[in-house]
A and B are shown apart, each in its own frame.
Chain A
Amino acid sequence: MGEAIAFYVIAACILGFAVLVISTKDTVHSVLFLVLDFLFVAALYVLLGAQFLAAIQILVYAGGIVVLYLFVVMLVNLKRPPEAHADPHRKTMLGFGLAAAVLAELAAVAVYSANVPARPIVEAAAVPVTGNTEVVGWMLYTSYLIPFEIASMLLLVAMIGAIVLAKREL
């Protein structure tokens, strides 16, 4: 009962802030609403029992990635007043059409999964450790090792690319 209330409140906040992200005129405010969104998503993770993921969400997303978004937005924002962000060429009908298509696809997926029985992703007994962080660690380093390594390779490539682009002389 309490969980349901908490879920609906958090979900309402998430949706509300998400709408504010795209509707507010000031870009910096938009990014700040995004941060709030991420914090509420982290709360949702805690509700689901994924505390490790919640902390990582705040640490990496809200505390790292969005900070860099904010750097860029602030440095670019210095020159353009908020009014310049209103686009007279905005194609409203195309936007509505695409949003309706996505909604239809989501509805189709929901109907499909309601008719097909759910399979457990992971056999709970197969993992010899308990505790949220430990289970995540175990899965990451045994069943999902290759995607993990590929992800870290991707990050390394991105870092090197950023350094090469930013340096004036190597």
Chain B
Amino acid sequence: MATAVAAIRPAGRQPRADAGDRRRSIVAFTVFVIGLLVVWEGVKFIGGTPWRAPGALPGSPVLWNPPFRFPFATDLTLPHVWNIFLAFGQPWQRGSETNVAEYLFGAALFTWRASAIGFALGAFLGLVLATIFVHSRLLERAFVPYVIASQTVPIVALAPLIVFAFGASVFSVVIIATYLTFFPVTIAMIRGLRSFDPRAMELMRSYAASPAAIYWKLRLPASLPYLFTALKISATAGIVGAIIGEGPGGIQEGLGRVIITFNQYYITGPEKLWAAIIATAILGITFYLIVRAAEILVLRGRSGTAET
């Protein structure tokens, strides 16, 4: 049975990533990360600050004195990878019980929760708007320009207003994240909900299908690849947006505030800011991968699903 199926499957239309593909992409990612670290430390080896033991204070013995002094490769601008790693274990603030890793984890969780709620609301709002627009050319023409205009206002300008109106709480971050995620979903779904095969629409017509049946059984399923493309953009945009919004909004608990704090104390501990950057990246990638996993799950069985 299995071989019969394999035989009738047209060549070149294999289901997405099989095990081999996945292994290759993991290998490629690992090679990329190692390459990045090698270049990072290589530059410091040639033109960085004199090397000292990991975590050592200035004044301890010099282990290696690079021949050049590049301004962009000093310990202040480009700290050693191992020192960034060690920074995770340091107290986040002088005399604090909490170390940087725990502190960042708590902040990341706060930001993630706010942007995940905003993401869900934004996706829903985007879907509702797109659904309205594909059913009414008039409303589409009247309101899509405003949807687009809404995104030309920088979030940095908008965030303080939102916080002023709703208070410095999770709620404001949620609104900011919603504001940033609904747009890609709206635009992609206006397209996606029209991406069905026109002959499939004739088929539905021949069944005398109601508009609701056409929506749930044809338009929406056909649009899902578009939805997931938009959601992947929204997932990262929502997190970046939440972080940016937290800063000028004066919201204390999230990564945005942490980044500003570590920025202010950069001179005394540049590694902490780098640790925060890594935490932010991990958060963004994790959220993206969650959406990607949902995509693989939902779109399994379809041919020609985009591999990203």
Q: Do A and B come from one complex?
A: no
